[in-house]
A and B are shown apart, each in its own frame.
Chain A
Amino acid sequence: MDSVIQVRDLVKVYSLGEVEVQALRSVSLSVGRGEFVAIMGASGSGKSTFMNILGFLDRPTSGQYLLEGIDGQNLSMDELAEIRNRKIGFVFQGFNLLSRTSALENVELPLVYAGAPTAKRKEMAQRALSEVNLKGREHHHPSQLSGGEQQRVAIARALVNQPSILLADEPTGNLDSKTSVEIMSIFQRLNQEKGITIIMITHEPDIAAFAKRNILFRDGGIVDDHKNSVPAAAASGGGLK
Chain B
Amino acid sequence: MTRLFASLRIALRALTVNKMRSALTMLGIIIGVGAVIAMIAVGSGAKKRIAEQIASMGSNLLIVMSGSSTSGGLRGGMGTVPTLTVDDAKAIQAEIPGVKYVAPNLGGVAQVIFGNQNWSTIVNGTTPEVLEIRDWPLSSGRPFTQQDVDGAAKVCLLGKTVVENLFGGIDPSGQVIRIKSVPFTVLGVLSSKGQSTWGQDQDDVIFVPLRTAQKRLFGMQFPGMVKQIAVQAREPELMKDVESQINDLLRQRHHIQPAQDNDFNVRNLTEVMASAEQSANVMSLLLGAIASISLIVGGIGIMNIMLVSVTERTREIGIRIAVGAKGNDILFQFLIESLVLSLIGGIIGIGVGVAGTVVLAAFTQWPTLFSTQAILLAFLFSGSVGVFFGFYPARKASLLNPIEALRYE
Q: Which residues of the partner chain A approach B322 to less than 8 Å between Cβ atoms?
A: 55, 57, 84, 90, 96
Hey, what's the 0/1 contact readout for B312-343 against A, CB within 8 Å counting as 1? Answer: 00011011111111111100000000000000
- Contact, CB under 8 Å: A113 / B325: yes
Knowing A113-B3, A115-B3 touch, does A84 contact B323 (C-beta < 8 A)? yes
- Smallest Cβ-Cβ distance to B402: which chain A residue: A57
Q: Which residues of the partner chain A approach B403 to less than 8 Å between Cβ atoms?
A: 52, 57-58
Q: Which of A64-72, A74-82, A191-199, A226-234 contacts B (4 or more CB under 8 A)?
A: A74-82
- Does B274 count as interface, using CB distance less than 8 angstroms? no
Q: Which residues of the partner chain B approach A115 to less than 8 Å between Cβ atoms?
A: 2-3
- Contact, CB under 8 Å: A85 / B2: no
- Contact, CB under 8 Å: A118 / B13: no
- Contact, CB under 8 Å: A78 / B323: no
- The one of B6, B320, B406 in contact with A92, judged by C-beta atoms closer than 8 angstroms, is B406
- Does B17 count as interface, using CB distance less than 8 angstroms? yes
- The one of A52, A100, A109, A116 in contact with B323, judged by C-beta atoms closer than 8 angstroms, is A109
- Contact, CB under 8 Å: A78 / B327: yes
Cα–Cα distance between A97 and B327 once the two chains are bound (Å): 20
- Smallest Cβ-Cβ distance to A78: which chain B residue: B326
Whole-angstrom distance from the CB of B324 to the nearest CB of chain A?
A: 2
Knowing A57-B402, A57-B403, A96-B406 touch, does A157 contact B2 (C-beta < 8 A)? no
Whole-angstrom distance from the CB of A67 to the nearest CB of chain B?
A: 14
Cα–Cα distance between A101 and B12 once the two chains are bound (Å): 13
- Does A110 count as interface, using CB distance less than 8 angstroms? yes
Q: Which residues of the partner chain A approach B319 to less than 8 Å between Cβ atoms?
A: 96-98, 109
- Smallest Cβ-Cβ distance to B16: which chain A residue: A100
Q: Which residues of the partner chain A approach B315 to less than 8 Å between Cβ atoms?
A: 96
Whole-angstrom distance from the CB of B233 to the nearest CB of chain A?
A: 70
- Contact, CB under 8 Å: A81 / B324: yes
Q: Which residues of the partner chain B approach A82 to less than 8 Å between Cβ atoms?
A: 324, 326
Best-surrounded residue of B6, B322, B325 (most CB of chain A within 10 A): B322
- Smallest Cβ-Cβ distance to B5: which chain A residue: A118
**8 pairs of residues in contact across A and B, judged by CB atoms under 8 Å:** A57-B402, A81-B325, A85-B324, A92-B406, A96-B322, A100-B13, A113-B324, A161-B324
List the 6 closest A-B pairs by CB distance, nearest first: A85-B324, A113-B324, A110-B323, A78-B326, A112-B6, A81-B326
Beyond A78-B327, A90-B322, A113-B320, 9 additional contacts (C-beta under 8 Å) are A55-B322, A58-B403, A77-B326, A81-B325, A85-B323, A96-B322, A97-B319, A112-B2, A112-B3
